Chains A and B, each alone.
Chain A
Amino acid sequence: SQQGEEDPQALSIQEGENATMNCSYKTSINNLQWYRQNSGRGLVHLILIRSNEREKHSGRLRVTLDTSKKSSSLLITASRAADTASYFCATGRGYNTDKLIFGTGTRLQVFP
């Protein structure tokens, strides 16, 4: 069954603005990951946050995790047109051979 749901489904912003995407999940997790998918391409791993972490940064990305609310957010600061893509959250239980369960994705459009 689908684990994560993302909000909003689509987001349009101007270059330079910040973009915030939210993800909610249902069961207990070891970690939550964010992936980006450019149109017609495969997914690219962006960042992983573990269940004992509350916030993590990587470049212009900031991820928060609230395990009590079973939710996470991805913030992209100072967005660029090249950030236009779909963004997916995925939850993992921490086992290499286990599956990731993906959310429904947020389609981000950044206008120059």
Chain B
Amino acid sequence: DTAVSQTPKYLVTQMGNDKSIKCEQNLGHDTMYWYKQDSKKFLKIMFSYNNKELIINETVPNRFSPKSPDKAHLNLHINSLELGDSAVYFCASSQELGISGGEISDTQYFGPGTRLTVL
């Protein structure tokens, strides 16, 4: 019953390679995100997609290309990996609860993370 899942959990690769990380959510959410957590545990937004449309792109190098084939999936492809790309990458999703009679919430649900190590 995993809500937000990512694969792989660990990824070790050489500099210059191209790799992908996959994310899937079964919560029926409309919005998905990618975050990067560095070695100091600082968590920073990279991208967000709403209904397969790119909403946020936070000054991320264009070597990073998110792809959303449908609203339940948001994959992250990274070209020409660099040492500085080593980090833990988290996928998240959220759903607006609605305005009429309910709360608007931007609570996000996170996946378990993918630890990327570039050698």
Q: Could you tell me which A residues sit within 8 Å of B by CB distance?
A: 2, 30-31, 33, 35, 37, 40-45, 48, 86, 88, 92-102, 104-105, 107
Contact = CB atoms under 8 A, between A and B. Distances in A.
A47 to B, nearest CB: 10
A58 B66 CA distance: 36
Contacts, number: 71
- For the complex of A and B, 10 pairs with smallest distance between CB atoms: A96-B96, A42-B110, A99-B45, A102-B43, A43-B110, A92-B106, A97-B50, A42-B112, A97-B55, A45-B107
Interface of B: 4, 30-31, 33, 35, 40-45, 48, 50, 55-56, 58, 90, 92, 94-96, 104-113
A109 to B, nearest CB: 14
Nearest to A91: B106
Nearest to A94: B104
B110 A44 contact: yes
A105 B35 CA distance: 15
A55 to B, nearest CB: 17
B45 A96 contact: no
A45 B92 CA distance: 11
Nearest to B112: A42
Given A96-B96, A96-B106, 14 more contacts: A43-B43, A44-B110, A48-B107, A86-B41, A93-B106, A94-B106, A96-B94, A96-B95, A96-B104, A97-B56, A98-B48, A100-B106, A102-B35, A102-B43
Contacts of A33: 107
Nearest to B94: A96
B104 to A, nearest CB: 6
